Chains A and B, each alone.
Chain A
Amino acid sequence: MASLDPMDNAWRPWRLLAPALSAIFLLLVVPVAFIVVYSFWLRTATGADIAGFHLDNWIEVLTDPFYRDIMGFTIWIAFATTVVCAVAGYVPAYFIATTQFKHKAFLLLLLMLPFWISYIIRTMSWINILGSSGIVNAALIWIGLTDEPIQMLYNQWTVIVGLVHFLLPFMILNIYVSLYGIDRNLVDAARSLGCTGWQAFREVTLPLSLPGLAAGSLLCFVLGAGTYITPLVLGGPTDAMFANLVFDAIITQLNWPLGSALSLVLLILLGCVVAVYNRFAGMGQIAKSFG
């Protein structure tokens, strides 16, 4: 029997949420708190960390132009990837949403197929395509357009290609969900009122799909800006992104305090992007795509 005690009812949601909240607390809040504390420690030349409250790491990260440039490069790569995904993703999303094809679920399954293969393997697969002995160079040599393999890999463009490959399904899915929710009668109504097909798209379909486009863009930007595998595998020596700095500081140099400060800067920046998005679009749209 349900309890009639109002206090008991007031606590019920919290009791039900307790397992999830404890998991979030232990696995997310506590580690981030450790990172925050670490970021104020100091690493000495001998390799030992000095506990305490030192702003040195933060001052270095926020004032050194080296970090600022890499942050700018990271934003550029994430932005370019997002734009390419948005443009390239809209067409297939529109096709899946409007097709009369009977097996629409199959098309969506195809969209999910890449997720069954490890992200690292998918990234490495570009080496077989664009590498010196990859399929593109082999084809170019075979048809005689070039004698020597062309160096196509290991620059910022291949980083963008790799990221688009990784992030495009997220974009397509988000746009598809918002397109699918648009009442077909709205387009017919616009047409009956004098719009050509293209005008009806601009007046009705495109604006009503903007929430999906925005949600997909947010996901692409945040995931793109946080990646370190793609620049590691497909980028050149000068194409490090911000997450690579964190990786280097912590894994290579064992400099946990500096790595902590760097990772917090990235976290705060991406947090701001999410906050701005949430202010204008709301997080509900992203939930729809995964619902």
Chain B
Amino acid sequence: MGDGTQTAVDLQSVVKRYGTFTAVHETDLEIPEGSFLTLLGPSGCGKTTTLRMIAGLTSITEGEIRIKGRRVNDLPIHKRNLGIVFQNYALFPHKTVFENVAFGLKYRGVAKAEAAKRVKEALELVQLPQMADRMPSQLSGGQQQRIALARAIVVQPDVLLLDEPLSALDANLREDMRIELKRIQDTLGITTVFVTHDQSEALAMSDQIVVMSAGHVEQVGTPEEVYNRPASEFVASFLGNSNIVAASVTGVDGGVAKLEVDGLGPILASVTGDQTLSAGQKVKLSIRAEKLALSDTAEAGADATVLDARVTTVDYQGQVARYFLDAGGRQLQAINPIDEHPLSEGKQVSVRIRARDCVVLPA
């Protein structure tokens, strides 16, 4: 690989067990230099444990972790040159903002004048240059968050680790901080590992998303890949609203598979290059709710399927509406933009499903 895409963090066959319980099953992960990688999953999926193993806050049971090529399995946390931002900020309550931010520099032996200059720059980067003399308790939650970030980045860490840093903020502030955090990460070009259970944070900020469930990595990919081409039923259901139905393969023709779905009849689905399907195979079919296009009449074709359905419930959301449909006794959901008025309940509609929006998952 070239200089631009060196691996900053490398997890090789990493396993974490607590007694007989396996918190993280064998995991391989390469985090490229300068990238923003998100560990996404519900609570208990192992994402925080993975972060803590990279940090050195939790020991690993098996495998190897390398940071910038150096094996760190037995390297204590204070020698790993990391910046960590905790969910509850963890600012030292007995130290001023300046002392908090300067803390890591003190232990790196940075001279006082140089440290003062770097603290000032870090505080400017997080847009709180005037807060140096305050105590953490005098700051709002959002300000504490920024100071915690300044404290982590001022030491120029090899990797920035963010453990659900936005989840303690209220909704509006969270979206502002999301943009802010991404801006700072872009500015510094710092390799970042971000842990969250919030799919919109993950989709908005990440270069790569690692979706985890029950200690397993379900999928690694760009936000678009993970969202549009989920690799498993878990990923499809965890991100966004998906219709997932059992189906069987009746035929494959080039890049398009013909599936038979109970109650819905035949549906066409595109197949990616690395998928091998054979007739009679049981699979799961996943279609995003917003990919179901509702209209009065629609035409099928070589690359689309049309179903008849009835609107049973309308969930009005302003810009869009979420419709619950009854198609041949099977319930589907569709999210469509609203043109003046949402469709009314009880209306008969045609549902057009493009083959390329259908994802075939293993059963």
Contact = CB atoms under 8 A, between A and B. Distances in A.
Interface of A: 183, 185-186, 188-196, 199, 203-204, 207-208
B107 A208 contact: no
B151 interface: yes
A192 B77 contact: yes
Contacts of B57: 188, 191-192
A87 to B, nearest CB: 22
22 contacts: A183-B88, A185-B86, A185-B88, A185-B90, A188-B77, A188-B84, A188-B86, A189-B92, A192-B77, A192-B82, A193-B104, A193-B107, A193-B155, A194-B78, A194-B104, A194-B106, A194-B108, A194-B155, A195-B107, A196-B76, A204-B92, A208-B93
Interface residues on B, range: 20 to 34
Interface in B104-120: 104, 106-108
A191 to B, nearest CB: 5
Interface of B: 55, 57, 76-78, 80, 82-84, 86, 88, 90-94, 103-104, 106-108, 151-152, 155
B57 to A, nearest CB: 6
A207 B83 CA distance: 23
A259 B88 CA distance: 57
Contacts of A186: 90, 92-93
Given A185-B88, A185-B90, A208-B94, A190 B82 contact: no
Contacts of B55: 188, 192
A196 B90 contact: no
Contacts of B83: 192
B92 A190 contact: yes
A204 B92 CA distance: 7
A195 B106 CA distance: 10
Contacts of B107: 193-195, 199
B94 A207 contact: yes
Contacts of A195: 78, 107
A5 B163 CA distance: 53
Contacts of A185: 86, 88, 90
Contacts of B108: 194
A189 B144 CA distance: 14
A190 B103 CA distance: 8
B9 to A, nearest CB: 15
Contacts of A199: 78, 107
Q: Which secondary structure dominates chain B's binding surface?
A: loop
Q: Which among A191, A199, A204 has the highest number of chain B CB atoms within 10 Å?
A: A191
Q: Which among A189, A190, A192 has the highest number of chain B CB atoms within 10 Å?
A: A192
Contact of B77 (A183, A191, A207, A208): A191
Contacts of B90: 183, 185-186, 188-189
Nearest to A182: B93
B78 A196 contact: yes
B240 to A, nearest CB: 32
A184 to B, nearest CB: 9
Given A185-B86, A188-B55, 10 more contacts: A183-B88, A188-B90, A189-B84, A190-B92, A191-B76, A192-B57, A192-B77, A194-B108, A196-B78, A208-B94
Contacts of B86: 185, 188-189
A186 B90 CA distance: 5
Contacts of A190: 92, 103
A195 B84 CA distance: 14
Contacts of A193: 78, 103-104, 107, 151, 155
A192 B155 CA distance: 10
- 4 A-B pairs with the lowest CB-CB distances in the bound complex, closest first: A194-B107, A193-B104, A185-B90, A189-B90
A189 B78 CA distance: 10
Contact of B78 (A191, A204, A207, A208): A191
B76 to A, nearest CB: 8
Contacts of B77: 188, 191-192
A282 to B, nearest CB: 15
Q: Which among B77, B103, B108, B155 has the highest number of chain A CB atoms within 10 Å?
A: B77
Q: Which among A185, A188, A194 has the highest number of chain B CB atoms within 10 Å?
A: A194
A186 B103 CA distance: 12
A189 B77 CA distance: 10
Nearest to A194: B107
A208 B91 CA distance: 12
Contacts of B91: 189
Nearest to A207: B94
A284 to B, nearest CB: 15
B139 to A, nearest CB: 16
Contacts of B151: 189, 193
A199 B83 CA distance: 18
Contacts of B93: 186, 208
A118 B92 CA distance: 43
A194 B80 CA distance: 8
A195 B92 CA distance: 14
Nearest to A210: B94
Q: Which among A186, A188, A189, A208 has the highest number of chain B CB atoms within 10 Å?
A: A189
Contacts of B76: 191, 196
A188 B78 CA distance: 9
A230 to B, nearest CB: 36
A208 B92 CA distance: 9
A185 B89 CA distance: 9
Contacts of A194: 78, 104, 106-108, 155
Nearest to B148: A189
Contacts of B88: 183, 185
A212 B86 CA distance: 26
Contacts of B155: 193-194
Contacts of A189: 84, 86, 90-92, 151
B23 to A, nearest CB: 16
Contacts of B152: 192
